Structure 1
Amino acid sequence: MLPFALLLLSADAAPATPTPPVERPRVIVLSDIGNEPDDSESLVRFLLYSDCFDVEGLVATTSVWQRDKVQPQLMRERIDAYEKVRPNLLRHAPTYPTADALRAVLRSGRAAYGMAGVGKGKDSDASRLIVQAVDRADKRPVWVLAWGGAVDLAQALWHVRATRSPAQVQAFLKKLRVYSISDQDDAGPWARQNFPSLFWIASIHGWGQYNMATWAGISSDRRNAEQFPDREMVTDGWLSQHIRRGPLGALYPLPEFIMEGDTPSFLHLIPNGLNDPEHPEQGGWGGRYMHAGPDGAGPFADVKDVFTRDGRIWSGNQASVYRWRAAFQNDFAARMAWSVDAKANHAPVVVAQGVAGLAPVRIKARAGETVTLDATGTRDPDGDALDYRWWQYREVGGIPGQPAVEIADAVTPRARFVAPAVKAPTALHLILEVRDQGTPPITRYRRVIVEVSPQ
């Protein structure tokens, strides 16, 4: 897709022209809000990032935890609080939607559990909203984020298949993207089985075994300090100090179980220079996923990341989320500060290889050549000092991963490495991570993909 078009540069090329701006993702949220606090928590965070999205639906839905009722009033309550803080948010970003625009896309889903709510005569306001959004004359795909059950999505798919030709069904599916927080009813598995070409990100595991899911890395087991790094940033104390502030923060409940289990679905979409929504296999704040079948077949499913912090190795599918925890929690705290403070911290503006913007940059090199990685031109809008780190995201590409490279001057704006010996053309993913020294510190990224060819 054009917003994530990759620029092809030689290893020592002159600066290229800036890439086109990243398109705002079109988003519909399906939430079983009210069954426990985590959906309410995620919605508070989502509203603080609503300047990054075109919000086309907020749907209160059912799930295995809430089978026969929906609670749109809890969404409305948080939209009302958002309305109070929006004037302050606009001081920091001009594209926050009006509260009325959000209310206009608020829907109640069918108050039925899973496939019991799907079939002839079972269209709902929510299923019609999904169909209308995909049918709209807009080339951008529609992201459906399933925080609970998928009954209304399944009904939309059922309706389209029942009323359109096979070619029209395929055209509809090509415009649809789904990121589901595992399966919380039987409608999601039905949809994947009946529409196998549908772009779908999901942790697939034993029924109810949510502790095995990638998205659980958002906070993991908060009771176990040894299980993961940066545990202090998901504690009740940290949340009370940094998040439960102002009219919107007051509606952020403390967790009962996992904190914000649904949030990775839209962390995947936040334009931070790291995430490319169309490529879950590349990894980002929302985790890393690969096709479950060969040759790009099947849904995107869990994979393992490995990283080292302070001499300790962390690995597992949840590591693909919690490796970014300090960054996305500080980013959240900064956004909450936007809602109450006139003066607050803002993200660095990162330039890689002379290219501004957020899209990945490609450069070409031959094995044995020295490749220069260059962040010249990167700046901070608040004048904060910046910390730089270049590193290789080796897991991208699957097992056994990319050949390792040793990056010289990796904590400076200009770094370098020698392209490794390869037997076939190989893509190396180098991440530029730039963190400002503001309060709280905010991190932004650029991905440089180096295409190495044999000598």
Structure 2
Amino acid sequence: MKLKKLAKAVLGMMALGTMAISSFVSIASAAPNDVKPRTIVMTDGEVDDMDSFLRFMLYANDLDVRGIIYTSSMWHYKGDGRGTPFTTHMDIVKLYHPGWHTNLRWCGTDWIKEYIDKYRTVYPTLLQHDKNYPSPDKLQSLVRVGNIDFEGEMDYDTEGSEFIKTELLSEDETPIYFETWGGANTFARSLKSIEEEYKGTEKWDSIYQKISKKAILYNIMDQDDTYKTYIAIKWPGIKVYYNSWQFGSLAYIWPATVPKTQQKYFRGEWMKKNIMKGPLAGGYMTYGDGHKLAGDPEDKFGSMEEAMKNGYGKYDLISEGDSPSFLYLINNGLRSTESPTYGGWSGRLSPSVSTKNLWEDNEGSFDYNPYTKKLDKYYSQTRWIDAIQNDFAARVKWTMNDYQHANHAPQAIKIQEGLDIKVKPGGKVTLHASASDPDGDKLNYKWYPYEEAGSYRASVAIHGKGQEASITVPANAIKGETIHVILEVIDSGQPPLTRYARVILTVE
């Protein structure tokens, strides 16, 4: 699909997202910050999935990766091998792939292994930076093929759906985060298999409650209809995070969503210098780099002619639209796993006003964009672009350099007074921070309120100087309202790396 066509498709799907103004609602903490989040990736395999997967592997040390599943979507499916024709159920796709197809833009089930083999070449070097990187063999052992024949196909059990089923039924009740990079059909099939086996038995209620408590589904758009036609109806207790447009900040349409000051982190000069290097990240795909994906006739992004036609330069970012589904799981101090309403490297979501257990990027998730001086549907994501990209660049350096010749993020960030503080209207709070840097770099401390993340939605005075900050609680703050204070700690290394502390003030 050409860029303009794809951009329209993405924007069209964004427009389908439910618009609602929601008040701040917190959900229970998903997991202690010192516990690596359990996660399963479900991917339909296109150029942006592959670039997201490359980044994902460089953050596998921060995650408890439990599965990597091939699945289908409205954009990609294998077909059943018997020539059976299929037509989409999704209105937006009818505009771009009308009619009947026996398969659609399918890139096969070998590409994940090929990426893991590249990871294998840098694994010994990565271990010098963090012993928690999973072995290539461990990652490969987690790969399964799910429901890939057609868009939304969930009629049959597959090794992928059975793999997910096992995780869902396990006695481990800690949260498990399902990243939906394509369709949700393989996840839906696992739930349907559980329903068929247990509904009507004495075990059903406890199984339903256990799965509803621990499963969190992060949807990048609705790339098939299985959430709406099955999951939301039969499993309304499962928490769903629905990113219908904020992901556009990292996706194909980024020039239209990212502030000009941040766009340099996606332009070819910066990408070539910082990302496209070494035996792993050297395979990161960008505009005009000459790549061509077999199986996807619409992947023309590697053509310099196509790039120039659409206004892109050589090595500009194509897309990583699926990366928000795991960036919020990184323990960077923003406490993103505690609630999608808090906001962080994956943007910020707000409770749906119509559907229980659904958080989405409706109007309640818009952040104030200081460049346009307006509320912006994308800014809760784009506000973090520099930190996200510099962190990625540092991980790329880890694949090539030993510990002494690479930068590492600030650590051990502490707030002496704690992260959750009770306050009184009109009162004053003084916070004292400390942090360290593993490389001995100088640290810069920056304090600011994150007004949109709290339920007190007005200006709050914060006077920060170095490691100390004072906050005056507004006299008109009401009992139960919250004020979010962010401490940003940036080191002086190259690239500069950022970690945070989030203090939540609750009015008594």
TM-fit CA distance, 1:305: 3.2
**Gaps spanning 5+ residues in structure 2: where?**
1-26, 79-105, 288-300, 302-316
Report the counterpart of residue 485 of structure 2 in structure 1. 430
State which of 449, 463, 467 in structure 2 corresponds to 1:413. 467
Distance verdict in 2 for CA 1:136–1:283, change over 3 Å: same
Question: Which one of the candidate residues 207, 216, 236 is aligned to 1:177?
Answer: 216
Instruction: Measure, in 2, the Cα distance between the counterparts of 1:104 and 1:226.
Output: 37
2:137 is the counterpart of 1:100:
yes
Go from structure 1 to structure 2 and tell me whether the alpha carbon gap of 1:79 and 1:186 turns closer, same or farther (over 3 Å shift). same
Pick one of 216, 236, 253 that aligns with 1:221.
253
C-alpha displacement at 1:3, in angstroms?
A: 7.5
**Mapping of residues 63-102 of structure 1, within 5 Å:** 63-68=73-78, 69=106, 71-102=108-139
* Cα distance in 2 for residues equivalent to 1:317 and 1:308: 9
In the alignment, which residue of structure 1 is the partner of 2:365? 304
Shift of 1:312: 4.7
The aligned length equals: 416
Q: Deviation at 1:4?
A: 6.8
- Asked if 2 retains the 8 angstrom alpha-carbon contact of 1:228 and 1:322, the reply is no
SS of 1:352's equivalent? strand
Go from structure 1 to structure 2 and tell me whether the alpha carbon gap of 1:452 and 1:240 turns closer, same or farther (over 3 Å shift): same
- The CA distance in 2 between the partners of 1:67 and 1:50, in whole Å, is 27
> Which one-letter code corresponds to 2:366 in the other structure?
D
Q: Residue 47 of structure 1 corresponds to which residue in structure 2?
A: 57
Over 3 Å counting, the alpha-carbon distance change for 1:49 and 1:225 in structure 2 is: closer
> 1:354–1:103: structure 2 CA closer, same or farther, 3 Å change rule?
same
Tell me the residue number matched to 1:199: 239
Contact 1:230 1:325 in 2 (8 A): yes
Quote the residue 1:266 is aligned against. 326
Cα-to-partner distance string for 1:311-361 (whole Å, 9 max, x where unaligned): 653632211111000000000000010011112101111433227xxxx81
TM-score (structure 1 length as normaliser): 0.86
Deviates more, 1:232-241 or 1:99-108: 232-241
- Counterpart amino acid of 2:239? F
Q: Does 1:130 align with 2:188?
A: no
Superposition RMSD on alpha carbons, in Å?
2.3
Secondary structure at the aligned position of 1:95 is classed as coil
Quick check: 1:181–1:202 contact (8 Å CA) kept in 2? yes
Give the percent of matched residue pairs that are identical in Structure 1 and Structure 2. Answer: 33
Which position in structure 1 is the counterpart of 2:70? 60
Q: Secondary structure at the match of 2:341?
A: helix
Instruction: Report deviation, 1:403.
Output: 3.5
Give the structure 2 partner of residue 385 of structure 1. Answer: 442
SS in 2 for 1:38: helix
Shift of residue 221 of structure 1?
2.9
Q: TM-score scaled by structure 2? A: 0.77
Amino acid at match of 2:234: N
Shift of 1:219: 4.9
TM-superposed deviation, 1:227: 4.9
Residue 230 in structure 1 maps to residue 262 in structure 2: yes
1:208 — aligned with what? none
Shift of 1:174: 1.6
Please say if 1:161 is aligned against 2:195.
yes
Please list, as runs of the form range in 1=range in 2, the aligned pairs for 1:195-344 lying within 5 A after superposition: 195-204=235-244, 213-219=245-251, 221-224=253-256, 227-255=259-287, 256=301, 258-293=318-353, 297-302=356-361, 303-307=364-368, 309=370, 312-313=372-373, 315-342=375-402, 343-344=405-406
